[in-house]
Amino acid sequence: GPGGPMPEEASLAAMKRLSRKHKIALVELVVLVLLVVWFIAPRPLTRAMAGDGFDPAAVTQIQADLTAFQGGEGRTLTFSQGEPAFSQLMDLLQSKRYIPYYLDQDAQRSVTLGYRVDLTFSQGEASYTLSLTGDRAIVMGGDGGTKTYQVTDSDAFQQSVLDFLLEQEYTKEETP
């Protein structure tokens, strides 16, 4: 061919040099992808809950506080382990995988539900919380601070949690 054949050693050395750079780049890329996946990967409720050690099987009680946004009546419901409603609520919450959602501290939260829902899970000495208002962010709290998540079909899911809670028997809160 034109220019004559390239000396064998030179092309091999060039390839080696290139492949080492490529290998490093590849490793960096893999690490980056794994990190991103770890940060944004959907996770089950057990792993999503803020704070370590959340175990649905060890939760003895869930308290649901519904705060009406339109100045209506709030309600508080308590579910104890062993009650059908307790299992149904747990199943509903565990039916989703939670996708980390990084919420700006000053972000305006939109409210699309008629109530703010605050769930408190009692597990021995520990308690964990899950709050939703209908906007994209579902906030979970534990001894490790709070974490924010989103889910697919968020509106329908959050509405279904609220609907389920509104169907339950409850004690009316006395407004002072």
Mean pLDDT by 10 residues, the chain (176 residues): 61 72 86 83 90 90 92 90 97 95 73 90 94 91 87 94 91 54
The confidence score (pLDDT) of residue 38 equals 78
The confidence score (pLDDT) of residue 102 equals 81
The confidence score (pLDDT) of residue 154 equals 92
The confidence score (pLDDT) of residue 105 equals 67
- Global pTM reads 0.76
The confidence score (pLDDT) of residue 54 equals 92
Instruction: Using alpha carbons, list the distances in angstroms from residue 12 to 7, 8, 23, 35, 170.
Output: 9, 6, 16, 34, 77
